[in-house]
Structure 1
Amino acid sequence: MKFRYFKHDDCGVCKAILPKVENVAKKYDIEIEIIDTKKHPDIAAQKLIFTVPVLIVEHENKELNRWVRNFSIQDLEEETKYYLERI
């Protein structure tokens, strides 16, 4: 499983949520890739990212879920546990 976190430096929500997402990734030993949409617009375009933050949860290069803008870290953690039990 892998987290792909899309953000840019001018986004206050991105800055607030990132440490919490990193904590979930660390807790469950999940790789996290942080992509700045201003530095890598090509990657953002490939994934149809139109706003930030966006967290894409992937497994074997397939998207399992997409969390956009304001989302619950508790829900993310519960879903992460759910997927890890089934993978």
Structure 2
Amino acid sequence: MKQIHQYEEVLSFLNKNDKALVYVMTTDCSVCHADYPKVASIVKDTDIPAIYFLADKLPEAAGQLSLFTSPVVILYKSEREYHRQARIIDFDTLRLRIDQLIQE
């Protein structure tokens, strides 16, 4: 997963990819850093385009995406939010939703 540093990069990524995953974490969040390898593994297995960013380093994106906690995983289809999980990520549900998204 590629790290994003500007909100415009998030918009460009979503514009270029019909189906995509965005993972959001914060610098001092131990859960975020523990969940990152699990999300990255799912991304690698499913081959869905994915990015991540640090919400505390990119407050504009956090505001525009209505992010109030971390970690957050958001799936997009055609630049629209398809599925969101925040704070506690259920990896089985995430994998199921990615599979459903890819099949559409």
Corresponding residue number in structure 2 for 1:60: 78
Corresponding residue number in structure 1 for 2:92: 74
For structure 2, the residue ranges without an aligned partner over 5 or more in a row are: 1-18
One-letter code aligned to 2:29: C
TM-score normalised per structure 1: 0.93
Deviates more, 1:47-56 or 1:74-83: 74-83
User: Aligned equivalents of 1:63 and 1:28: distance in 2?
Assistant: 18
- In the TM superposition, residue 4 of structure 1 has moved relative to its aligned partner by 0.7
**2:21 aligns to what SS in structure 1?**
strand
Corresponding residue number in structure 1 for 2:58: 40
- In the TM superposition, residue 66 of structure 1 has moved relative to its aligned partner by 0.6
Identical counterparts, % of pairs:
29
Number of residue pairs the alignment of both structures matches: 86
For structure 1, the residue ranges without an aligned partner over 5 or more in a row are: none
One-letter code aligned to 2:99: K
1:17 matched to 2:58? The reply is no
TM-score normalised per structure 2: 0.79
- In the TM superposition, residue 84 of structure 1 has moved relative to its aligned partner by 1.2
